[in-house]
Amino acid sequence: MPDRFLQDVITNLKFHTAWIEIGAYFLRNRPDGKDSVFIRRMMQVEQSIIHRLSRTLRQYDYAPSRIQPDSTLIEQAKKRQTPETALRYIHHGILMSLKWYQERLNIPDHPFRALWQELFDEQNQLKKEIEQVLGLKSSYAE
């Protein structure tokens, strides 16, 4: 069993791989419109994050291929019936991700602190972008 810090990487990878599947699902069902531009952008960012998390796991001799996407997150996403509710679901997920990273960044001497900061910054940028698409005022992690 991996130590608690490596478990954080595994957990994070489960969620980011789920967001790739969620993005693909939303694009299959609603391929046009302003939301599709954002979803494609989100998927690019998620792919980059997955690459870095996988590389980190391999450095600790843990096979990233053993990690399955979070099925609950995917099933909940599939219940979203409109582009608006899909984007709001993604927005909520980004906010939860930011909160998760912030909690890890508050742990003194966390061995993956630099990685969490990078990923926090990328998710914060996605948050700003989706809030612009949704017409929301920016919230949280400015």
Residue 16: half-sphere exposure toward Cβ, Cα within 13 Å = 27
**Per-residue pLDDT tens for 50-81?**
999 999 999 999 999 999 999 999 999 999 98
Domain residue limits, the chain: 4-134
Confidence of residue 2 (pLDDT cuts 50, 70, 90): low
Output the CATH code of domain 4-134. 1.20.1260.10
1 pLDDT higher than 90: no
Q: Where are the alpha helices (DSSP H) in 60-106?
A: 71-78, 83-105
Q: What is the sign of the dihedral through the CA atoms of 41, 42, 45 and 51?
A: negative
